[in-house]
Chain A
Amino acid sequence: MAGGRSLAAYIVARILLAIPMLIILLTAVFLILRVLPGDPILALWGGHTPPQATLDEARRALGLDQPWWVQYWNYLTGILRGQLGTSIGELYRGQPVWFQISERLPATFEIAIGAMLVASGVGVLAGVTAGARRDTKVDVALRLYGTIIWVIPIFWLGLLLQLVFGVWLRWLPPHGRWTGADFPVRVTGLYTIDSLLEGNFDHFAKAVAHLVLPSLTLGLVLSGFFTKTVRANMMRTITADYTDAARARGIPRRLIVYRHAFKNALVPVVTLLGLQFAILFAGAVLTEKTFSIEGIGVLLLNSITSKDMTMIQGVVVVYAAIIVVVSLVVDVLGAVIDPRIRL
């Protein structure tokens, strides 16, 4: 009972901490966008300047004629009401921000989930192997792998994989989320899930095939971090007292490694997942651009270049919300696995 209460208190505390974090982030984004030089209304018209009355009307319609604090208040209260506003940029002009985000979020989610599977699968396996074979040739090779793959630019690796598997070997589609016009019927927007829901396995295979290269690109880069972290933790746990005790009792090495050292080495890795998710989303921008996938990363990129303030704010809000929620879930998961965290 006491443990349950402390866990609940921990969750409430984390949620309460997330609120000021979000407000600070939203305020920073709001201020940065208004401090940056340039007028978004003039940017819309560009070279051809319409009559002043037209410009004033456009400014009024978008609420940009209000003092900044009024705009800030409208912005915050709008978010609380779930209204992210309407795009004012050249590319998405007049379209609801949430519509554009919701159209693209599934693409980013699919890449993120695929990449996380690759990163954790490859990273954990490589880390455990390296940690269990400390200072052997395998360890050196995997350490090198961890360092090199972590610093490889995502777009470079992406282009390499596209060239080899997409263009030369033609095993996988080199880019995009889909080929052709026969999209799966939209339910969740996740092509893999939607194709399964409609019971079309050809569509499912097509969706997965399009997902392989971007997930591999982003996942492999992130696996470097996992490799190094898991290896370090493995080395710590493999020399811990409880593994010594297990060894003294004559338990086989394989069992010691995978039943005792490995399990305990994973605990800190789980807590790092939250941080990795933020890096994952940043990496998704480059991955989406490289593979011509219309996710929210590309949406953010396009919005920044067209000075679409409302769209940038909306995307950042969604990014922040996702990362806060994921961090929260991971922290709670960590607290459940390791009771010391909530003490």
Chain B
Amino acid sequence: MELESPEQPKPAGAAAGSRRLLAIVAVIIVIAVVGSAAYILTLPPAVKKYPLELWYNNDGHYGATEENLATVLKSSIESCGHVTVTLKSDTWAAYKQRWAAGQMPVFLLGWYPDYFDTDDYVSPFLSTAGAKSLGSFYTNASMDTLINNEQVAITDAGRAENFTKIQNGLAADVPYVPLFSGVAQAAFVNGVTNVELHPVVFKWSIIGKTGFAQLNASTSDKIISLDPASAYDFFSIEVINQVFDTLLVYEPVTSKLLPGLATTIPTVANGGISNGGKTYTYHLRPGVTFSDGTAFNSSVVKRAIDRAIRLDLPASAAFLLYDVGALRADHKGGNNTVAGTITTPDALTVQFNLTSPVSFFNQLMAFSVAAPVPWTYSSTKEQPSTVGSVVGTGPYKMTQHTVNQLVVLQKNPTYYNAGLYASFSIPSIPVMGQVNINIRSSSTILKQDIETKAVDVVFRTLTPTDLTDLQNRATTLGITVKLGASPQIRYLVINQNTITDKRVRQAIAYSVNRADINRIVFNNQVTALYSMVPPAMPFASPVFQGAYGDANCTAANALFAKIGYGLMQPVLWIARDN
């Protein structure tokens, strides 16, 4: 038997098999390489996307639509293809701290004016101090000068020129992207009259219901404080406006001022505004008393303003007096106003000597923080919001307050100005002897209230879906749903310290789609906003409409491409170039 030698050549059949195997492997490799190349070449070009954090409030501060709003915004910004938006949210208490600490690059915010003047849509946002407190940290010396100029200008022409430049600057620098103005809303049963969606104050005192002594209403707003020196939230101010009068008040439908506790509106012409706009003189009505019987006079007015400034209560509007209103406070000297700032030449005259002219000081005097309070109010702390402690000169007095449940307003028998709206076909106010305002915990309950007619009027805040549903069934239910323009604006804040490149901010402005927001989130109930100054205000100019429009992806992407975000070259090209 012969052993097989290792060197012995392989049989012809085996060699052919090896070659076939090699050939198959080679073909597979070629197919794989060609296939991979073809696949890579047909892939859409890789995109380097700009990462963006978008924050929103998640505990209902702006109602139940906030998450939807953030989602639609994310979708519209991402739809241009060059940005990845990450949504983040927090409760209101934490949200406020986050923006103050500059922790949110882009976030949703809303604004309801304090005093009804165009300045209140500009200076809180674009002045260096205001922008810091609102989390955009925008600072521009030219803008500060323009704002100062409009604040001190006494003529409309002077203000108009500055407001135009301010709004153009806003569009160029984009520290904010205006989105939409809110919708004012009320639903009421048929038979209720004079429900006016006033831009500043919802006037309960003019609402009537023939044949009834009481009006029942409900709201989902809450009362935080009924001390004018402390209140700085919508519904607290709403109740204060029924119980307290201010030196100047508003007409029943428009935002035009009328004399309230003062006899005339100070103007340059009548000598009420003097010293280059730095001195405002108010003559007071004689014989006015507070609902507790105590007297109203110039000393009371001075003491009330001094008190609000000195206390400077947390989250109050005192800064509108000492800062915005140029009354100044001596923070190192017990927070009091400097002697001579507020003077009382006689019992019925009060004079405010401002450190600089403030063109909208009359509007400040119509705001709740300036409401006179009686001497009985504590000079060292906030006045309790309980019955007997809330004392004003307004058409109503508060006779019951069950916290977060009910507030009852009854006609103030000592009210001095029942004929205030006589020339507006409302002979005497308050029309109803008693108004019971129920405070509800959700919008769902408001809807149930009006569906079951448990109340006569539902005021703020029904969801867009519920409003549409109620509108559709209004005839069947026997109710009226009233919608109107609200002075509230909603906008995106862009933190200048985080997003330093102006082109990124402008690209965001280009990619926002306001029509989608209105259609998807608000059932077409809101109005697109193209400036921080809403169209109903004097000097408004829709600068964002001309500069950016809506959903302009081409322009947005062009800007992103310039700063290195956008289309990248395919991998194979990079390899070849290298």
Q: Which residues of A contact B (CB under 8 A)?
A: 37-51, 53-54, 58, 89-91, 93-95, 100, 103, 159, 162, 166-167, 170, 173-181, 183, 288-290, 292-294, 298, 304-307
B331 contacts the other chain (CB 8 A): yes
Interface of A is mostly: loop
Cross-chain contact B225 with A166 (CB below 8 angstroms): no
Q: A37-B94, A42-B96 are in contact. List 9 more A-B contacts (CB 8 A).
A: A42-B97, A93-B315, A162-B448, A167-B451, A181-B406, A183-B402, A289-B442, A294-B404, A305-B91
B225 / chain A contacts, CB cutoff of 8 Å = 93
B452 contacts the other chain (CB 8 A): yes
Q: Which of A44, A167, A307 contacts B94 (CB 8 A)?
A: A307
* Listed A/B pairs (25) with beta-carbon separation below 8 Å: A38-B93, A40-B93, A42-B97, A42-B100, A43-B94, A44-B315, A46-B100, A47-B99, A47-B100, A47-B135, A48-B319, A53-B331, A53-B332, A54-B312, A54-B335, A58-B314, A91-B224, A166-B448, A174-B448, A177-B405, A181-B408, A181-B434, A181-B436, A290-B442, A305-B92
B59 contacts the other chain (CB 8 A): yes
Give the Cβ gap from A231 to chain B, nearest Cβ, in Å. 35
B418 / chain A contacts, CB cutoff of 8 Å = none
Give the Cβ gap from A112 to chain B, nearest Cβ, in Å. 18
Alpha-carbon distance A305/B57, docked complex (angstroms): 11
Alpha-carbon distance A182/B252, docked complex (angstroms): 31
B92 / chain A contacts, CB cutoff of 8 Å = 305-306
Cross-chain contact B451 with A45 (CB below 8 angstroms): no
Alpha-carbon distance A41/B382, docked complex (angstroms): 17
- Interface hub of A179, A183, A298 (most chain B Cβ within 10 A): A179
Cross-chain contact A50 with B94 (CB below 8 angstroms): no
Cross-chain contact A167 with B222 (CB below 8 angstroms): no
Cross-chain contact B451 with A94 (CB below 8 angstroms): no
Cross-chain contact A103 with B403 (CB below 8 angstroms): yes
Give the Cβ gap from A308 to chain B, nearest Cβ, in Å. 8
Decide: A38 near B454, CB < 8 A? Known: A47-B133, A49-B100, A175-B440: no
B445 contacts the other chain (CB 8 A): yes
Decide: A50 near B312, CB < 8 A? Known: A173-B454, A174-B452: yes
A292 / chain B contacts, CB cutoff of 8 Å = 440-442, 445
Give the Cβ gap from A48 to chain B, nearest Cβ, in Å. 5
B381 contacts the other chain (CB 8 A): yes
B79 contacts the other chain (CB 8 A): no
A170 / chain B contacts, CB cutoff of 8 Å = 452
Alpha-carbon distance A94/B378, docked complex (angstroms): 14
Cross-chain contact A175 with B408 (CB below 8 angstroms): no
B142 contacts the other chain (CB 8 A): no
Decide: A45 near B405, CB < 8 A? Known: A91-B222, A305-B91, A307-B94: no
Alpha-carbon distance A178/B442, docked complex (angstroms): 16
Decide: A175 near B448, CB < 8 A? Known: A42-B97, A90-B224, A292-B442: yes
Cross-chain contact B94 with A100 (CB below 8 angstroms): no
- Interface hub of A44, A290, A292, A293 (most chain B Cβ within 10 A): A292
A290 / chain B contacts, CB cutoff of 8 Å = 442
Q: Which of A38, A58, A91, A289 contacts B97 (CB 8 A)?
A: A38
Q: Fill in one digit per residue for B436-465: 1 if any A CB lies within 8 Å of its CB, else 0.
A: 101011101100100110100000000000
Decide: A289 near B451, CB < 8 A? Known: A47-B100, A103-B403: no
Cross-chain contact B314 with A44 (CB below 8 angstroms): yes
Give the Cβ gap from A90 to chain B, nearest Cβ, in Å. 6
Q: Which residues of B contact A (CB under 8 A)?
A: 59, 91-94, 96-97, 99-100, 132-135, 216, 222, 224-225, 312, 314-315, 319, 331-332, 335, 381-382, 384, 400, 402-406, 408, 434, 436, 438, 440-442, 444-445, 448, 451-452, 454
Alpha-carbon distance A44/B436, docked complex (angstroms): 29
A45 / chain B contacts, CB cutoff of 8 Å = 314-315
Give the Cβ gap from B268 to chain A, nearest Cβ, in Å. 31
B335 / chain A contacts, CB cutoff of 8 Å = 54
B312 / chain A contacts, CB cutoff of 8 Å = 50, 54
- Interface hub of A53, A91, A181 (most chain B Cβ within 10 A): A181
Cross-chain contact A175 with B445 (CB below 8 angstroms): yes
Give the Cβ gap from B404 to chain A, nearest Cβ, in Å. 5
B451 / chain A contacts, CB cutoff of 8 Å = 167
B222 / chain A contacts, CB cutoff of 8 Å = 91
B452 / chain A contacts, CB cutoff of 8 Å = 166-167, 170, 174
Cross-chain contact A43 with B405 (CB below 8 angstroms): no
Cross-chain contact A179 with B454 (CB below 8 angstroms): yes
A95 / chain B contacts, CB cutoff of 8 Å = 384
Give the Cβ gap from B249 to chain A, nearest Cβ, in Å. 26
Alpha-carbon distance A12/B100, docked complex (angstroms): 53
A48 / chain B contacts, CB cutoff of 8 Å = 133, 315, 319
Give the Cβ gap from B132 to chain A, nearest Cβ, in Å. 8
| Chain A residue with the shortest CB-CB distance to B402 | A183
Decide: A47 near B441, CB < 8 A? Known: A39-B97, A167-B448: no
Alpha-carbon distance A45/B230, docked complex (angstroms): 11
Top 8 A-B residue pairs of the complex, sorted by shortest distance between their CB atoms: A46-B96, A292-B441, A44-B314, A307-B93, A43-B93, A305-B91, A305-B59, A294-B404
Alpha-carbon distance A288/B404, docked complex (angstroms): 12
Alpha-carbon distance A141/B452, docked complex (angstroms): 35
Give the Cβ gap from A244 to chain B, nearest Cβ, in Å. 55
Cross-chain contact B319 with A50 (CB below 8 angstroms): yes
Alpha-carbon distance A334/B279, docked complex (angstroms): 79
Cross-chain contact A90 with B438 (CB below 8 angstroms): no
Give the Cβ gap from B567 to chain A, nearest Cβ, in Å. 40
| Chain A residue with the shortest CB-CB distance to B320 | A48
- Interface hub of B99, B225, B408, B436 (most chain A Cβ within 10 A): B225
Alpha-carbon distance A127/B438, docked complex (angstroms): 41
A307 / chain B contacts, CB cutoff of 8 Å = 91, 93-94
| Chain B residue with the shortest CB-CB distance to A299 | B404
Give the Cβ gap from A200 to chain B, nearest Cβ, in Å. 18
B314 / chain A contacts, CB cutoff of 8 Å = 41, 44-45, 50, 58, 93
